Structure 1
Amino acid sequence: MNFLFAWRYFRSKKSTNAINIIAWISVLAIMVGTASFIVVLSVYNGFEDLVKSLYASFYTDLKVVPVKGKTIIFTPEELAKIKTVPGVDAYSLNVEEKALMRNGDWQSLVYLKGVDSDYTKVTSVKQHVRHGNYELGTADKPVAVLGVGVENALALEAEKALLPLTVYLPQKGETTDPLQSLAADNISTSGAFAIQEDFDNKYVITNIGFMQRMLHLQPDEYSAAEISLKAGANPDKVKRNLQAALGNKIDVTTRYEQNKTFFSAMQLEKWIIYGVLSLILTVAAFTMIGALTMLVLEKQKDIQILKALGTPDNKVQGIFLSEGLLLASVGGVGGVLLAVIICWAQEKFKIIALEGGSFVIDHYPVKLYASDVLLVLFTVIIVAMLASWFPSRKASLQPIELR
């Protein structure tokens, strides 16, 4: 019943055109606010997905690391158990250590990561080689693929370097002679990868045999095992099964846990954006107060007739609350449709480009989620109810003065 009155008041011609104009301005304000809300969240989602995909290119679904120390020994039986855990698609063993790389007078402190032949099965680093080739050499003749940031720091072109680099790695054990605490060797370069600054500026990939030789590790001694999962596998469930299969000497981390600070920061950023946009939407919805206040003044006689017929105050208040929700619904639905059109056009035609030309994409990415649309509509309804409360309360308190 309340919405029937609200719909009639919405459609009816007012005695003063200003009331109609203000009502449609409030609808337009909510529509623009809703569309802006959804578009901004969609652009954020697009960037978030892009960054997550870049991190997924380097970080695997699961990573098995030692609970204590830097290295862990995997027996053939334990490696066989990893492969048989349901959900595991492939695994790769690696040895990682900080190293100093020198190219003449240029030097850079890097993370030197030795990987096996299965590394390309669990990550897509090979697909991100910008120039040169993905070649890692052998234990005796090592070859490295550099991050483009490391390449720039060493002032070279990886695929064209005529002379090998010198790499210094820490020796195992304690020694009083600083010169004996480092192992040095030459390493050639084959190419450079570009994924994301966090990786490009500090990682160098080479073969695992070279790292084991330089660090004097046993043949079955590694830093970690990186694991990719089959499509649809639950990372948390596979993690529990791996932990049970390998015992307490290892710790299994998911991709989220490997980058917990980063992902938590991204979620916090999204909620901050939501808070700021909610304030903007609240300001836009305040035009509704003016529209409903004018409508209450316009319908004073109707209100008094309803009260004279025995309509309680809360019913009168409900009519004007429904009027506010109706205005918000029209604006909200219109805003959703407008946002969908904008996002579709941006995704299809790349209307708004990214300036600079140095990013991995050339346009603003968008990702429209139904959950975001529902959240925005819920926010619109809450804001509309708050904005409608004062005018509707004023209407319910109108005295009966029929003449």
Structure 2
Amino acid sequence: MGLSFTIARRYLFSKKSHSAINTISIVSVCGVAITTMALICTLSVYNGFQDLIASLYSTLDPQVKIELVKGKTFDTSQPVFGEVEKWPEIEEWSPVLEENVLLVYRDKQMPALMKGVPDNFGKLTQIDRILLDGEFMLRDSIVRYATIGVGVANRLEAGAHYLHPLKVYAPRRKGKVNMANPAASFNEGTLFTTAVFSVNQPEYDDQVAIVPLDFAREILDYKTEASAIEIKLVDGVNEKAFIDKLQSRLGIGFVVKDRMQQQETSFRMMQIEKWMTFLILAFILMIATFNVIGSLSMLIIDKKDDIKTLQSMGADDKLISRIFLTEGWLISAIGAGLGLAVGILLCFLQQEFGLLRLGQTAGAFVVDSYPVKIEWIDSVAVLLVVAILGFLAAWYPVKYLRKKLL
């Protein structure tokens, strides 16, 4: 392998008798390098956006969430929940109740998702970070308060500390509908808006109203029921191990989710988009490696006399094949190495200086420049694809063209 590598290296860097061969070799290296760089940068941008979206969701999504596999609500007074709540790994334990309701503010109304939360909700989440106006609070000595998404506030033309009350209507769960007086079939509650939040995600901003848990239970005719339990873990606790332990304790009737699983559809779509883009760029890389076939074919023709000399000196067909295979691998390896290095450098510069911006006006988007994050598995996947395509591109001319041309 040492002899074949030495000869291949000399063939690659030495001046050929036909300048076109040098040009095609350079083009081959540049084609692989540019495509590899594009792969690394593109995948890193997808990773950056995924982390950005995860950070947005994490302001309201709990670290761990318990939900029913089937059904809407469950009784939180069950002994198993009293036992789990005392586990030392848990810092905050928060039963929540979610249901669709009708919000009415003065002459405006809209359907919304009411989320009833206990008093420790501010410790469980980072809601203070996403408030656009007002202060998050659930009650004082006189009234109870609601915190609404920015889209809800726009639809209702409401805001923090507005004087008029926010009315909430929910169908009665018990009893029959009175057709003579349909309004009697609804429970009604009154709150005042104390804050407006923005997650920059429409499923929260345009739908959610956060209210006290006792208010939600009253208007929905519940006592100790909840639709989910949200949990914050003590720092340093192994999240996956805790989820496995909790799932085992609760059994098959419940599902325990981390933040990624709570937004599984969104993150799955991002992963599909990411790897579809990877396949498209890999196809472009495959086209770029066709230059390697042309380069090696012309090199074999150019080195006819050298091959005959090596054969006269005792070199067998395997050695000669290894020389040109190594030549093809060197072209792919140098291109991949250059592309990987430049791609990582560009990603680092983007992280530090934000060279590629999302818009000319600062603050127009959630972030001012494209977010990037380099993951080692992406680099491994890119190098693996380059290695496979580089081998196939070198194998074809060595296997077939050499025998036909000599």
Same fold (TM over 0.5): yes
Does the CA-based 8 Å contact 1:171-1:181 persist in structure 2? yes
Q: Which moved more, 1:101-110 or 1:387-396?
A: 387-396
Q: Which moved more, 1:142-151 or 1:171-180?
A: 171-180
Per-residue deviation, 1:185? 2.3
Q: Using a 3 Å threshold, how does the CA distance of structure 1 residues 228 and 14 change in structure 2: closer, same or farther?
A: same
2:204 pairs, out of 199, 205, 219, with 199
Per-residue deviation, 1:113? 0.7
Per-residue deviation, 1:175? 1.3
Per-residue deviation, 1:240? 3.5
The residue that corresponds to 2:174 in the other structure is: 173
Q: Using a 3 Å threshold, how does the CA distance of structure 1 residues 350 and 248 change in structure 2: closer, same or farther?
A: closer
Amino acid at match of 2:381: L
Does the CA-based 8 Å contact 1:139-1:209 persist in structure 2? no
The residue that corresponds to 1:24 in the other structure is: 26
Instruction: Write out per-residue CA displacement over residues 91-137 of structure 1, whole angstroms, 9 at most, x where no aligned residue.
Output: 21212111111123322211111111221222212221122211222
Structure 1 regions of 5+ residues with no counterpart? none
Per-residue deviation, 1:226? 0.4
Aligned length: 398
Matched, 1:255 2:256: no
Matched, 1:44 2:46: yes
Does the CA-based 8 Å contact 1:313-1:396 persist in structure 2? no
Matched, 1:381 2:387: yes
1:359 pairs, out of 359, 365, 368, with 365
Does the CA-based 8 Å contact 1:353-1:363 persist in structure 2? yes
Matched, 1:145 2:147: yes
Q: How many angstroms apart in 2 are the aligned matches of 1:364 and 1:96?
A: 35
Identity rate of aligned residues, in percent?
Answer: 34
Q: How many angstroms apart in 2 are the aligned matches of 1:140 and 1:332?
A: 68
Per-residue deviation, 1:232? 4.7
Does the CA-based 8 Å contact 1:81-1:245 persist in structure 2? no
2:109 pairs, out of 107, 110, 114, with 107
The residue that corresponds to 1:59 in the other structure is: 61
Q: Which moved more, 1:226-235 or 1:178-187?
A: 226-235
Per-residue deviation, 1:254? 3.2
Q: How many angstroms apart in 1 are the aligned matches of 2:355 and 2:261?
A: 36
Does the CA-based 8 Å contact 1:99-1:169 persist in structure 2? yes
Instruction: Write out per-residue CA displacement over residues 40-86 of structure 1, whole angstroms, 9 at most, x where no aligned residue.
Output: 11111100111122222222232223455432222385444223435
Per-residue deviation, 1:88? 2.8
The residue that corresponds to 1:70 in the other structure is: 72
What pairs up with 1:2-401 in 2 under 5 angstroms?
2-67=4-69, 69-75=71-77, 77-85=79-87, 87-137=89-139, 141-156=143-158, 158-177=159-178, 178-195=182-199, 196-218=201-223, 220-246=224-250, 250-355=254-359, 357-394=363-400, 396-397=402-403
Q: How many angstroms apart in 2 are the aligned matches of 1:394 and 1:87?
A: 64
Q: How many angstroms apart in 2 are the aligned matches of 1:79 and 1:126?
A: 28
Q: How many angstroms apart in 2 are the aligned matches of 1:394 and 1:185?
A: 82
**TM-score w.r.t. length of structure 2:** 0.90
Amino acid at match of 1:206: V
Per-residue deviation, 1:375? 1.4
Per-residue deviation, 1:374? 1.7
Q: How many angstroms apart in 2 are the aligned matches of 1:96 and 1:138?
A: 22
Amino acid at match of 1:223: S
Instruction: Write out per-residue CA displacement over residues 343-389 of structure 1, whole angstroms, 9 at most, x where no aligned residue.
Output: 11111111111127442111100101122112111111111112222
Q: State the SS of the aligned residue for 2:340.
A: helix
Q: State the SS of the aligned residue for 2:337.
A: helix
Q: How many angstroms apart in 1 are the aligned matches of 2:219 and 2:268?
A: 37
Q: How many angstroms apart in 1 are the aligned matches of 2:339 and 2:244?
A: 45
Amino acid at match of 1:55: Y
Q: How many angstroms apart in 2 are the aligned matches of 1:140 and 1:251?
A: 38
Does the CA-based 8 Å contact 2:46-2:372 persist in structure 1? yes
Q: How many angstroms apart in 2 are the aligned matches of 1:164 and 1:26?
A: 70
Does the CA-based 8 Å contact 1:44-1:366 persist in structure 2? yes
Does the CA-based 8 Å contact 1:139-1:207 persist in structure 2? no
Does the CA-based 8 Å contact 1:115-1:205 persist in structure 2? yes
Q: Which moved more, 1:388-397 or 1:284-293?
A: 388-397
Q: Using a 3 Å threshold, how does the CA distance of structure 1 residues 296 and 250 change in structure 2: closer, same or farther?
A: closer
Q: State the SS of the aligned residue for 2:102.
A: strand
Q: State the SS of the aligned residue for 1:58.
A: coil
Q: How many angstroms apart in 2 are the aligned matches of 1:289 and 1:265?
A: 37
Structure 2 regions of 5+ residues with no counterpart? none
Per-residue deviation, 1:249? 5.5
Does the CA-based 8 Å contact 1:148-1:194 persist in structure 2? yes
